[in-house]
Chain A
């Protein structure tokens, strides 16, 4: 029976984990969507002139949203233009979030620039194009992977850290955080002297996922894309207008909202299930051992002491459940992530709608389980204590 209780506890914990993480993901998606809308303001306002300054959480939101949109055949095209100021070349790399390269102008699947990776081992931003390692298209990696790349004409092993092509559709993004720049010696000068750069994001609904190239072509026409040998340009203002087309924006928000609500709905179901499971577990735990309560009373334990003992027991079982569920969840999530990356080619999908075993998530679910478990234990034991001892002992 003890095993059953442990298993039930583990199960309820798993549900709790998925519940809390889903809740978190949905709320984040929603809020990130709002943050994302402000991106352009931020760039246009007091941000870094030369570099599009996008807080890392916003960039993450874009990635996250992209996953959601993919499910709805809504593709995100990240259109950006940044004129890179050479003043920033070679600055130390640590604490950087993402840095948008001028050559990293990429539009969806048709990006002509293959995914590329910057060697961060040198601990600074690349000084010139030769420091950009190019990998073949169609390769997907995750953070901390070590890969061999052509680097400065030689094959070099580099560790991916912080940025790479996140999915089939997103371009390589690198954005220097404004705070970081400000904190750098001479960083303020870099900000002041740099040229204005702009970036924005455009969502386009694509009915036929195999027709993205055609959509891209149309988009380029819309934004006045011009290119020649070694150069390319387009009207930033046009991009701005198209990006904030009301229909597209509205559509995007609607999708985000509906996704969030569906997730919250599912989460509520999981939450209810989890609560019921924990309550049933607590109830069974005590009810099948009524005689034990009677025995403890016969020893001379007071009602409060008995309730405390059972709640402490629940706590111990819950801690075991946490450890077990955390381990199982970690293995399962790692497996799924691996499967998605290796078999299906989705990179970093975990940031979109997956289990996030953060300390806060753990603390919340742990607290929730304890509170529900303690409450149901308290009620069940209190009800049992109302009965005469001899009735309880008869249950043996």
Chain B
């Protein structure tokens, strides 16, 4: 499903990732663990085809994204749900509008999901009026509503209390149970998720 081979990534003189080798099969959950600044987000972006490595190969759904054509990349991105670290919600749209933007779910199903993660009363609010935790959950809901083959979520539990962590974890685990693939990053161990593999990133890796 996902295969990274000898991946290197640097920004100018700063080397962020080097010699990364990862393999994730369909239905598995990979946790990328590392402290801040170790390149977790960069790695997730590379897997999500939002960034390209300087060296190495990245295969997603059998396609080498480093050599893929525009159409192939578009097709891969459509099969990925990406939940960003900074919660990239369109500021002039409400929560429900943001989630429905790429949704493959019906509105009712989306509302139920938002309600489950504690955003039921916030669906008509714009991102400017949400807390960081709420934005985070809305962003994750948007990624899940897309019904992707692969869910990539960057630090999904940041700014969340234990109750919310539990609910968000249930959503992700339910997604996994459907045979889908999950890549999750975190600064600490993720015990609430059914992790298949753990990949630890150090500062100079």
Contact = CB atoms under 8 A, between A and B. Distances in A.
A396 B74 contact: no
Contact of B88 (A2, A295, A388): A295
Contact of A291 (B45, B51, B70, B88): B88
Contact of A299 (B45, B51, B71, B102): B102
B78 A390 contact: no
B199 interface: no
Most buried by B among A295, A298, A301, A393: A298
Contacts of A301: 74
Q: Chain B interface mostly helix, strand, loop or mixed?
A: loop
Interface string B102-130: 10000000000000000000000000000
19 contacts: A2-B92, A294-B50, A298-B48, A298-B50, A298-B82, A299-B77, A300-B74, A300-B76, A300-B79, A300-B80, A300-B102, A302-B70, A302-B71, A303-B70, A389-B50, A390-B50, A390-B51, A393-B84, A393-B88
B204 interface: no
Interface string B50-80: 1110000000000000000011001111111
Q: Chain A interface mostly helix, strand, loop or mixed?
A: helix
Given A388-B51, A389-B51, A300 B92 contact: no
B48 A302 contact: no
Given A303-B70, A390-B50, A393-B84, A295 B90 contact: yes
Interface of A: 2, 291-292, 294-295, 297-303, 388-390, 393, 396
Shortest beta-carbon contacts, A-B, top 4: A300-B78, A300-B77, A390-B51, A389-B50
Nearest to B77: A300
B101 to A, nearest CB: 7
B86 A396 contact: yes
Given A298-B50, A388-B52, A393-B50, 5 more contacts: A292-B90, A300-B78, A302-B70, A388-B51, A390-B45
Contacts of B88: 291, 295, 393, 396
Contacts of A298: 48, 50, 77, 82
A294 B90 CA distance: 12
Contacts of B86: 396
B84 A302 contact: no
Most buried by A among B48, B50, B82, B92: B50
Given A388-B51, A390-B50, A300 B45 contact: no
A291 B92 CA distance: 14
Contacts of A297: 50, 77
A308 to B, nearest CB: 14
A336 to B, nearest CB: 36
A378 B122 CA distance: 36
A2 B92 CA distance: 9
Most buried by B among A2, A295, A303, A396: A295
Nearest to A297: B77
Nearest to B81: A299
Given A388-B51, A389-B50, A390-B45, A302 B74 contact: yes
